[in-house]
Structures are given as structure tokens and as C-alpha cells.
């Protein structure tokens, strides 16, 4: 896979593009470790679904501008992250223009295919985040039942999967149906973001059963700029949040 990788900057916002107007990642120059896009903040709700800093081993499929890797690097100092990115130039640009830390002991970057990596690794992860797309904003083989089943096998007994389902869930379940099947219905889609992104979560091991009030309290306690309260207010409309509790 090869495509044009561009960096643009306007009004303090530096953005990554794959040869089009669509942003594949962004960073505020004066706050490089903050999350610019709502959908990236929603994906980080995965950090709040279980008590404590359970995320010791984290796998991220897709680097982009490195926003999520940088956020975890700053706010989860005890975590070890592995990021798999298929396009070498994206890795170079993330380091050169988006302040991606050079710290292999905590942040390991692998250039390769995320699907093949998950199929071949024997390592297990507490958190897997899937946010990989080509220059046409399509996830390719990342959005398949075999891949999500492989993700489940690679999670620990307290594991959480977070997936960006942009373009796959308008009017139909799209890739979420694969996630539900792979995780035996232990999955939930959060309400769609204004950008069109829909974030799905799935879990293994011990059930997740948390009051929405407690989830909001954890957001406030996190104190990391997640700004998720409006999204959490909308969770009460989901079947998975009956009786004011999120159950996965």
C-alpha cells in the first residue's frame, strides 16, 4: 500500500492527509498530547470501563498522527504500547511533525499489516484499539469476522476492544455485526459522533456492569480532557444501558 502523505497547518491545528481534504489525524500545536477529535476521546472511554489502570499491555492498529498513542503515553505511564502501522511514511511523519515520542521501551512501533500482526502474535493485550483505514477511508480486512475473532483470542481475561466504525454503521450494523458475533453479543455501540464515526466496544472475561453515574464520575476523576459527559448522557438511550447501567 502506498499513497501521498501530507501535513497541513492552519490556525494552530496541524493535520495529516492522505492526498485529500479528509483529515487522517490532527494535533493542536500548543497542546500536542491532547485529543482533537471527538471520536478519539470516545475511544478512550475504554480506559473507564474497568476499575484501576488495568491497561498494562495495549495494542493499537493504525497510527495516523499518533494522537491516541500519545494520549496513552501521557496518561497511562505504566502501560506498554505496541502500535502497528502499515505505511512507513506515516510513522516518519508522526515522529517528525506530530511529536510522537521516541521511547521504544514504552512505545513500540511496528511497520506492518495490522491484520497479519494480530493473526501471528502470541502476545495478549488488556486493550486493543482498531483505527486503521486506507486512503479511501476503508478498513479493508480489519473489518472482518475472522479478524475480530482473532482480536478476542489476543485479549486478556479483563480485555477490552475499541473499534472506530466510520462509514460502516449508517442505517445498518455493518462491521458491528461481526464484533457482536465474535464476542458472543458482549459488545455495544456508542451513539454516533458528529463526525459520523461510531465507536464500538467489546469485552472478554469478567462482565462489565457499571452505573452510568459512576461512569460519569470516572470521566471527571480522569481529569485528562476527555470531555465525554455529553456522549455519556446519550448512553441512556441504548439497550445495553437499560436501568441506568452499562453492561457488556
Measured between alpha carbons, how far is 168 from 184 in angstroms, rounded to an integer? 20
Confidence of residue 167 (pLDDT cuts 50, 70, 90): low
β-partners of residue 111 are 85
Tell me the average pLDDT of the chain.
89
Cα separation values, 25 from 98, 104, 202, 220, Å = 9, 22, 24, 25
**pLDDT of 189 over the 80 cut:** yes
Architecture of the domain spanning 32-247: 3-Layer(aba) Sandwich (3.40)
Please give the model's pTM, rounded to 2 decimal places: 0.92
Q: What pLDDT sits at residue 19? A: 81
Task: Check the CA dihedral 225-230-236-237 and report its sign.
Answer: negative
Has 131 been annotated as catalytic?
Answer: yes
Which three cell numbers, joined as nine digits, stand for 168? 460502516
Which three cell numbers, joined as nine digits, stand for 247? 453492561
Query: Which of 113, 131, 135, 213 is flagged as catalytic?
Result: 131
**pLDDT of 48 over the 60 cut:** yes
What is the mean predicted confidence (pLDDT) over 110-117?
A: 95
Which three cell numbers, joined as nine digits, stand for 220? 471527571
What is the mean predicted confidence (pLDDT) over 54-59?
A: 91
Confidence of residue 196 (pLDDT cuts 50, 70, 90): confident
Residue 58 and residue 78 in contact, taking contact as beta carbons nearer than 8 Å: no
Q: What pLDDT sits at residue 18? A: 86
Main-chain dihedrals φ then ψ at residue 48, nearest 5 degrees: -100, -5
% of the chain with per-residue pLDDT over 90: 70
**pLDDT of 169 over the 60 cut:** no
Q: What pLDDT sits at residue 136? A: 44
Amino acid at each position: 500500500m502506498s499513497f501521498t502523505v501530507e501535513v497541513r497547518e492552519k490556525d494552530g491545528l496541524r493535520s495529516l492527509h492522505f492526498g485529500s481534504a479528509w483529515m487522517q489525524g490532527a494535533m493542536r500545536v500548543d497542546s500536542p498530547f491532547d485529543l482533537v477529535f471527538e471520536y478519539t476521546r470516545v475511544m478512550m472511554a475504554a480506559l473507564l470501563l474497568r476499575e484501576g489502570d488495568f491497561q498494562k499491555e495495549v495494542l493499537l492498529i493504525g497510527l495516523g498522527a499518533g494522537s491516541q498513542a500519545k494520549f496513552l503515553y501521557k496518561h497511562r505511564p505504566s502501560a506498554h504500547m505496541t502500535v502497528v502501522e502499515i505505511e512507513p511514511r506515516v510513522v516518519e511523519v508522526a515522529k517528525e511533525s506530530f511529536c510522537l515520542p521516541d521511547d521504544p521501551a514504552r512505545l513500540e512501533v511496528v511497520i506492518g499489516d495490522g491484520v497479519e500482526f494480530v493473526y501471528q502474535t502470541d502476545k495478549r493485550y488488556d486493550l486493543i484499539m482498531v483505527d486503521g483505514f486506507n486512503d479511501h477511508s476503508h478498513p479493508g480486512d480489519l473489518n472482518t469476522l475472522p479478524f475480530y475473532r482473532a482480536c478476542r483470542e489476543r485479549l486478556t481475561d479483563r480485555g477490552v476492544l475499541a473499534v472506530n466504525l466510520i462509514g460502516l454503521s449508517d442505517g445498518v450494523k455493518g462491521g458491528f455485526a461481526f464484533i457482536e458475533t465474535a464476542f458472543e453479543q458482549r459488545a455495544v455501540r456508542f451513539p454516533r459522533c458528529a463526525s459520523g464515526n461510531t465507536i464500538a466496544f467489546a469485552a472478554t472475561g469478567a462482565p462489565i456492569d457499571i452505573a452510568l453515574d459512576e461512569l460519569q464520575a470516572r470521566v471527571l476523576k480522569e481529569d485528562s480532557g476527555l470531555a465525554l459527559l455529553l456522549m455519556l448522557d446519550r448512553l441512556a438511550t441504548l439497550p445495553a444501558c437499560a436501568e441506568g447501567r452499562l453492561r457488556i
